[in-house]
Each structure stands twice: as structure tokens, then as C-alpha cells.
Amino acid sequence: MSLSAIKNKSFIYLFSKVFAATINLFSIYLFTRLFKPNVYGDYLLFSSYVIFICSIVFWWHRLSVFRYYHKYKKNYNTYIKTSYLSFYGLSILLLFLFIIFIIFLSFYQSSFIEKKYYFLVIIIASIFRSNFDLNQNLLNINKDDYFYGTNVIIRPLLFFGICLSIHFFHSENNYVLIIGFIVSFFISSIYPNYYLQRNIKGGVFDRNIYKKFILYGLPLTGLFVFDYILAFSDRLLIGYFFGSEMVGVYGANYDLVKQIVLFLMIIQGLIIYPEINKLFEDGRLDEVNKLMSINLNLFISLFLPLAIFIAMFSDFISSVFIGERFTQSSGLLIPLLSIVFFILGIKIYHFDYIFHLKEKTKISMKILLIGSLINIFLNLLLVPNYKLIGAVLSTMIAYIFCLFLSIIFGKKYMLIKLDYNVFFRTIIFLFFSISICFLFSYFNIQIIFQIIVYILTYSFLTFYYNFDTIKWFLNRFN
């Protein structure tokens, strides 16, 4: 891949993700002002249930399709046909099991039957979202960059537009966000389904490929379930103890930090990991090690200052993006969440990827099992007493344990080297940036000037003294 190609690819991903993140941030800004915390909380609980179904039924399949694309690319039509027919089979199986479950429980749990339509909607939403995710994975690995980027933009635009339209005509409808969620994923999947499957008549369903999916991916189900517990048990327990209103408050702050931090991490991963996959399949392991190491160093120099920036200016950020009814705990929640997402980024986008490449996903599952048990225990201990702060502290401690274990076990299979010169320069640059901001704060200089000075100071020092890291990253594709 040439330097011009990687720059073009980077621009597409950067533009689409920044645009989508901007829409999502504006959605948080508007929806936390239009809707009450309990309505927003009900939507977050619904989406949590959807993700739970996706994590059990579909994620292992999607990751397997992504993992083996280059291995079977020469039989493209057969591979795509196998991928989609197996997805449709999982969808039909899920609906069949739901019907059986309803029939069985109708004899014992009448209260569950009253909610059967709610659970059916959750399952349908899970299928639509998983279909969208599968399409995006294939577009990404197949390097259909413009199509991928267009979809990244269209989906949140549809969600935003549908929700606003329904609210305009039916302002008392409490299911606006849920309807927007379902319909936006459905519409966003229509054309990509046709585009990716238009030539599958020339292929056949290959049982050997599907067996490969199962052998690699099915053990990931446990991994995804434990990962789900780490990511979502906090809001489920908040909902159980304090109701959907508190879930709405917690979720608004959580989603805000997630949109600011994770979208850049995702861009970095989307640009580099398809290339790492290809190098690994080609047996060029030394290049994989180098690329993984430089990726970590770049991550530290970009996302550590971003996490500190969010923590320092949390009150300003929450006042701009979140409605007043949702900011009661933002001063503590947002700084802690910025640390959580920084730790999560190091774990997921660097050390966990070693286990996926080496097909050692059982190790990841065991690590997440330990982390999820720690998280559940701490949530049960802290949430009833410390509410939202207890939830985020529980998640942070659990992720720290998981990251430590991932580093220890990951070193046995691939050595990702941290460049200590880059790391310590980053710390020094941050010290100077923070010191200047505190000095400005002492003299009561407006916060907007503090923000500008922080960004300019760190950016100048990084580009002047740490540019070799970025330059090496780009030159890798010459």
C-alpha cells in the first residue's frame, strides 16, 4: 500500500468517523435537553439488551468473517455466500429459540408473556444491528473505503433524523429513541446487503469455511459475554437499584466520553488492523511486531493527553454537551470515565489483538472472566452505597486487572515494545501543558483560552520532538 493510498484511506476514515461522532455528540446535546432522564435511560437499557443478544449470538461470527477474509479471498463468492447464509441461519435459529422459550414460559411465567413483544423487538433490533456490523466489517476488510465511510455517516444521521421527526409529530411518545435505533440500522443495511451479496450466485456454501468460523469464533462467545458484563453490568445494576432515570444520567456522561475518546481509537484500528491481518497471514511476523509496537507508541502520545484534557475540563465539556438534568455527577464521572476509556483502549486495540491473531482467544476469555467477576462483586458492593461513582470505580478497577493480565500473558506470544523515550517525552509535554493551564486558571483567565493553550502547547511539543513516531508510521506504507 502506497503512502498516498494510506493517506487517502486515513482521510476517509477520519472524515467519516469525525462526522459521525459530531452527529452523535449533537444527538447527546439535543436529546438530553428534549427527553427526560428516564426516557433516555429506557433507551440505554434497551440498547444494552440488544448488545447482550448480539454478543451471544452474532459477534463471534462477525469476528470470524473478518479474521479469515484474506485466507479465503481467492474464493470470494463462496466466502461471502458462506458468511451471509450462516448469518441468516443464526437469525432464524434465534427467532425459533425465542418462540420455543415463549411457549415454554407461558405455562409458568405469565408476567414474562406480558413483555413478549418487548423481547421480540429486542431480538429484531439485534438482527438488524448485527447485519449492519457484518456489512461494515466486510466493507472495511475489503477496503471499500468510500462505501464504508458513507455508511458510518448515514446510520447516525438516520437515527437523528428519525428521532427528531417522530418527536416533532408525537412529542409524548416515550419510545422515540428505540424506534430510531431500530429503523436506522435496518435502512442502513438495505443497499450494503445487495452490494456485498450481488454475486453470491456464483459461489457455494462451504462447510469447511463455516467449521473454521465455529472453531475460531464460537469460543469467543464466552469472551464477549464477559466483556459485556464489564461494559454494561454497571448500568443494569444502576437500573435495578435506582431506576431508569439514574441510568439516563450515567449513560449520558458515559456516552459523551465514549464519543470523544473511542472514535479516534477506532479510526486508528480501522486503518492499521486490516494491514496487520494481511501481514500476519503472509507470515511477515517481524513486520507485524514492529507495526504493533509503533501503534502502541502512537496511541500513548495521542490518547493520554486526550484523557487528561477531558478530565481537566470536565465541567466545561459537560455544560456544553449535556442537558442540565444529566450533569449532577459529571464533575467526578467524566474524569474517571476518561481514565476508564484510556485503559480500555490499550487493552482492546493492542494487547487483546495478540490473542486474536494467535488464535488464543481462550486466554482472553479467562482474563475477561476474572475481570467480570471483579466487576460484578465491586458493583454489588459500591453501587448501592456510592451510586454512579461506585459504578465507574468498579469498572475502572476491573479493567486495570484485565489490562495487567493481558500484558503478562500477551508477552508470551508477541512482544509489543513501548518506546520509553516517546513515553517520557509525552509525560514532560503534558506537564508543561498542564502547568500553563493551571497558571492561567490561577489568574482567572477564561477557560476557553486554557483549552486553546493546552492543545497548542502539547501539539507543538509533540510535532517538534515526537514527530519521528508519526513519520515512521506513515513511511511504513511506502
Taking residues 216-220, what's their average pLDDT? 78
Separation of alpha carbons 152 and 101, rounded Å: 35
Condensed to tens digits (0 to 9), the pLDDT of residues 31-52 reads 999 999 999 999 999 999 999 9
More confident of the two residues 11 and 284 = 284
More confident of the two residues 65 and 357 = 65
Q: Which of 5-19, 94-108, 156-170, 255-269 has the highest mean pLDDT?
A: 156-170
Number of helices (H), then strands (E), belonging to the chain: the values are: 19, 0
* Residue 2 pLDDT class (50, 70, 90 cuts): very low
pLDDT at 444 exceeding the cut of 70: yes
Structural contact between residues 233 and 175, judged by C-beta atoms closer than 8 angstroms: no
Taking residues 334-349, what's their average pLDDT? 90
Q: What is the pLDDT, as a whole number, of residue 432?
A: 93
* Residue 389 pLDDT class (50, 70, 90 cuts): very high
Taking residues 340-367, what's their average pLDDT? 81
Residue-level length of the chain? 478
Condensed to tens digits (0 to 9), the pLDDT of residues 294-333 reads 778 888 888 999 999 999 999 999 998 998 889 888 889 9
Separation of alpha carbons 243 and 239, rounded Å: 4
pLDDT at 6 exceeding the cut of 50: no
Q: Measured in whole angstroms, how far is the alpha carbon of residue 43 from the centre of its chain? A: 18
pLDDT at 8 exceeding the cut of 90: no
- Residue 283 backbone class (left: φ over 0; alpha: ψ -120 to 50; beta: rest): left
More confident of the two residues 55 and 351 = 55
Q: What share of the chain is helix, strand, coil (3-state, %, to 5)?
A: 85, 0, 15
Separation of alpha carbons 458 and 305, rounded Å: 8
Separation of alpha carbons 378 and 297, rounded Å: 32
The one-letter code for the residue type at 236 is L
Q: What are phi and psi of 70, to 5 degrees?
A: -70, -30
Condensed to tens digits (0 to 9), the pLDDT of residues 121-170 reads 999 999 999 999 999 999 888 878 788 888 889 999 999 999 999 998 88
The residue assigned the cell 430510531 is: 180
Q: What is the pLDDT, as a whole number, of residue 203?
A: 82
* Residue 477 pLDDT class (50, 70, 90 cuts): very low
Least confident range from 195-209, 260-274, 282-296: namely 260-274
> For the chain, what percent of residues have pLDDT higher than 90?
44
Indicate the average pLDDT of the chain: 85
Q: At what angle do helices 207-217 and 76-105 cross, to 10 degrees?
A: 60
The one-letter code for the residue type at 17 is K
More confident of the two residues 89 and 407 = 89
Separation of alpha carbons 383 and 328, rounded Å: 16
Taking residues 362-376, what's their average pLDDT? 87
Taking residues 431-445, what's their average pLDDT? 90
* Residue 1 pLDDT class (50, 70, 90 cuts): very low
Separation of alpha carbons 275 and 266, rounded Å: 15
